A and B are shown apart, each in its own frame.
Chain A
């Protein structure tokens, strides 16, 4: 049956209608187009962040954008230590790892191995839940330090000019709150909006993965004869990982 369909498919002229010129199913093509529109949504948010940041370089009137290393320097169970970037790197590792288990589930789906698909999907869901937990912790610390949507107490620090890379050789420790002055207002608001929007994508991705895993475990894809639904959920999940790569670059590294 499949060979007969494949032969009929190959005989159709490519652009004459009646077949996909992209050689993918309708659902997968629509998922790609949704991801393209979602890429534009995220890039508009990140570009807004970039414009705000570039318009807040130090001049006599305008305050400087704070150095992320002096703010996101916490790590669970290591209170009071200055550890910039470490926690975010762990979050990045968790998301990359869950992306790998997702792609292994897709690969197992190509081989129609139900057991492996369910196992790798469960690993992926665990990774997504861990990432969400990390983000909740980071938000709670950030809010605990006084960040709000309407104001920002994270400005340039007195010792800021003594910073080389992220290592501080000055007399003051620039991450200590008492050396902070008020900074540009959109900083905290943009952080909440962009990481919140991404976190919501991760959350919906976890929901989609749970639904797809239950379907796979109950044998819905075996009856259907293909595991394409895992591929579609996988495309969404990898896109979430891709967005995190850029959020990580723009919010924490630059």
Chain B
């Protein structure tokens, strides 16, 4: 099989879908959201006492920021659902790893 096809011929391997611009309005909106959440992080850090609930808020904000970075900046919102699923579904295992190891870490305290 030839990998280098002649110009004008259909070429599955080197095919690049045409790019379309979605404008800069949404990008700047995403920037303000990210900045706002970071400022909110900063304020909450000084206002609230250090509790598990505050940690939960920080992790939740981290996930919200991740949603906006992956969705708008990395263009995931406009990709096919197939691509979004093969990238995003495996990250569910990270949550399992976090849950498991934090639980075990707590148990380690008393094993020491």
Contacts and interface: CB of A to CB of B under 8 A. Distances in A.
A22 B83 contact: yes
Given A22-B82, A103-B27, A165-B48, A52 B16 contact: no
The main secondary structure of chain B at its interface with chain A is: helix
Interface in B22-64: 22-24, 27-28, 31, 34-35, 38, 41-42, 45-50, 55, 58-59, 61-62
A37 B31 CA distance: 26
Nearest to A249: B62
A47 B98 CA distance: 6
Contacts of B27: 100, 103-104, 107
Contact of B46 (A1, A54, A167, A239): A167
Contacts of B49: 164-165
B35 A20 contact: no
Give the 9 A-B CB pairs with smallest separation, nearest first.
A54-B105, A55-B108, A8-B10, A51-B105, A110-B21, A22-B83, A249-B62, A51-B101, A55-B105
20 contacts: A19-B12, A22-B83, A23-B17, A25-B17, A26-B13, A44-B97, A47-B94, A54-B105, A59-B112, A85-B46, A96-B38, A107-B23, A110-B20, A110-B21, A164-B49, A165-B45, A166-B45, A234-B73, A246-B66, A249-B59
